[in-house]
């Protein structure tokens, strides 16, 4: 019999094998200073494009004031206990009601964390006789929720409606045999590519197939739609989303999340979400802070307007300079380049050390081998000067990637790793 840990000692995984070279710089980096468009990284001032603070609320003085007052009034522990036992308050109810109204649903329920809440919601919505059909590029929290499902599940090609239809045909036949139902899961905005889920086309399939639609709108909430209610509002199908999910970790610059749906569905979920039934309630400081942030989202449209001014300047500037930003339809701005993981490390180090630009780097296995994805997240706190500096820096690093500079710089790293 093998030692359980033998596989860990032998294989650290596709990312873990680079830990000695990457940790503390490329992964698990330490950004310091107040959350803003410019922060400090290893003693250097950098333009930060890796903070999901879309509306610039993280360090807004009104938000900081409310957060501080709530901390003084309630501390960081209140309320103690799970919602069902001793952790329920009128302010939790108020926030739920305001969120439901904002995203045009009958009811909403708070979740302690987005990831945890998504996993638990998927688990609660389906039984072993039901079938899940979900986008192959779905976020890890959706995938982990689906893994809990004891029934059948199918993936459809990313944003491919023909593929979805074929899988719905398979799912329908199977559901007729099991006596179950069908749950379709899509994201409102896919966080890596920046593409909106094709919600309008998915909803249109309801005329042909009997299914319910669950949408993870983490990146759409607060950034898309006339009021900021998300991708469903943007595409005119918010009413047709059966269960709507969003997190506070992006536009609301906080911790927590919520689900929204018809009241009967929410009443069922709040009694069956294991991650909420058996976990401590969302602390009051976060609830009060979320109420303030939601108020600002509703009453300060200039925040979203500034976000999109910066987004449009960045994305149009990149396209004008010949960069491949894919087919993003959101603020998420991917820049696709060709190169190895060591070349990506050399490129990002140059970008941070010599050009003062900090953005996220994504490599295999998240994207195919031989590709480098630099992911930029514009926010309302960025300036057009930030955009201009970044565009100039990207032109410079692309030139060095293409002329082999980063390949030569990465040779020593490859040798140290025993790679050829």
pLDDT of residue 10: 87
Mean pLDDT of 90-115: 97
412 pLDDT band (50/70/90 cuts)? low
Please give the model's pTM, rounded to 2 decimal places. Answer: 0.93
Does pLDDT of 21 surpass 80? no
Closest-CA residue to 336 (of 310, 378, 375, 390): 375
Does pLDDT of 23 surpass 90? no
pLDDT of residue 15: 72
pLDDT tens digits, 197-235 = 999 999 999 999 999 999 999 999 999 999 999 999 999
Mean pLDDT of 11-31: 82
DSSP string, 38-81: EEEETTEEEEE-----TTS-TT-HHHHHHHHHHHHHHTTTPSPS
Q: Which helix (H) or strand (E) holds 21?
A: helix 19-22
- Find the range with the poorest average confidence among 18-22, 340-344, 346-350, 375-379: 18-22
pLDDT of residue 18: 72
C-alpha–C-alpha distance, residues 156 and 125, integer Å: 20
Q: 142-171 burial, b if ≥16 CB within 10 A, otherwise e?
A: bbebbeebebbbbbbebbeeebbeebbeeb
Does pLDDT of 366 surpass 80? no
SS3 annotation, 343-390:
HHHHHHHHHHHHHCEECEEECCCCCCCCEEEEEECCCCCCCHHHHHHH
Q: 181 — alpha (psi -120 to 50), left (phi > 0) or beta? A: beta
- Find the range with the poorest average confidence among 213-217, 331-335, 369-373: 369-373
pLDDT of residue 416: 54
User: Percentage of residues in the chain with pLDDT exceeding 70?
Assistant: 98
Residue 404, C-beta contacts closer than 8 angstroms, at least 6 positions apart: none
CB distance 139 to 249 below 8 Å:
no
420 pLDDT band (50/70/90 cuts)? very low
C-alpha–C-alpha distance, residues 366 and 374, integer Å: 12
- Find the range with the poorest average confidence among 12-21, 78-87, 95-104: 12-21
């Amino acid at each position: 019999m093998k030692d359980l840990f033998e596989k860990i000692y032998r294989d650290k995984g596709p990312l873990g094998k680079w830990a000695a070279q990457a940790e503390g710089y490329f992964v698990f980096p330490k950004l310091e200073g107040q959350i803003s468009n410019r922060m400090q990284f290893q003693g250097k001032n950098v333009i930060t494009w890796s903070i999901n603070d879309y509306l610039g609320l993280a360090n807004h003085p009104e938000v900081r004031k409310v957060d501080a007052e709530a901390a003084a009034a309630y501390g960081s522990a209140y309320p103690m206990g799970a919602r069902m036992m001793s952790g329920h308050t009128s302010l939790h109810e108020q926030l739920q009601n305001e969120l439901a109204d904002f995203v045009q649903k009958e009811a909403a329920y708070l979740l302690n964390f987005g990831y945890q809440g998504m996993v638990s919601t998927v688990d609660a919505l389906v039984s072993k006789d039901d079938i899940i059909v979900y986008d192959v590029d779905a976020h890890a929290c959706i995938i982990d929720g689906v893994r809990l499902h004891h029934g059948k599940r199918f993936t459809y090609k990313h944003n491919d409606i023909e593929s979805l239809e074929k899988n719905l045909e398979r799912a329908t036949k199977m559901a007729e045999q099991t006596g179950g139902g069908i749950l379709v899961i899509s994201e409102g905005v896919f966080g890596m590519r920046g593409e909106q889920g094709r919600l309008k086309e998915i909803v249109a399939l309801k005329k042909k197939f009997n299914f319910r639609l669950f949408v993870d709108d983490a990146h759409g909430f607060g950034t898309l739609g006339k009021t900021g209610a998300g991708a469903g509002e943007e595409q005119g199908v918010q009413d047709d989303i059966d269960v709507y999910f969003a997190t506070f970790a992006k536009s609301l610059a906080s911790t927590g999340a919520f689900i929204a749906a018809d009241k009967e569905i929410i009443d069922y979920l709040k009694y069956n979400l294991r991650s909420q039934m058996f976990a401590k309630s969302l602390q009051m400081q976060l609830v009060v802070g979320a109420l303030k942030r939601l108020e600002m989202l509703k009453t300060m449209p200039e925040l979203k307007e500034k976000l999109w001014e910066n987004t449009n300047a960045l994305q149009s500037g990149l396209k004008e300079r010949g960069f491949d930003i894919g087919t993003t339809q959101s603020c998420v701005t991917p820049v696709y380049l060709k190169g190895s993981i060591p070349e990506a490390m050399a490129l990002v180090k140059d970008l941070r050390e010599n050009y003062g630009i900090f953005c996220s780097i994504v490599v295999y296995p998240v994207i195919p081998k031989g590709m480098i994805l630099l992911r930029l997240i514009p926010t309302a706190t960025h300036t057009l000067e930030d955009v201009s500096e970044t565009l100039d820096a990207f032109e410079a690093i692309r030139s060095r990637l293409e002329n082999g500079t980063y390949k030569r710089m990465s040779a020593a790293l490859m040798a140290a790793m025993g790679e050829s």
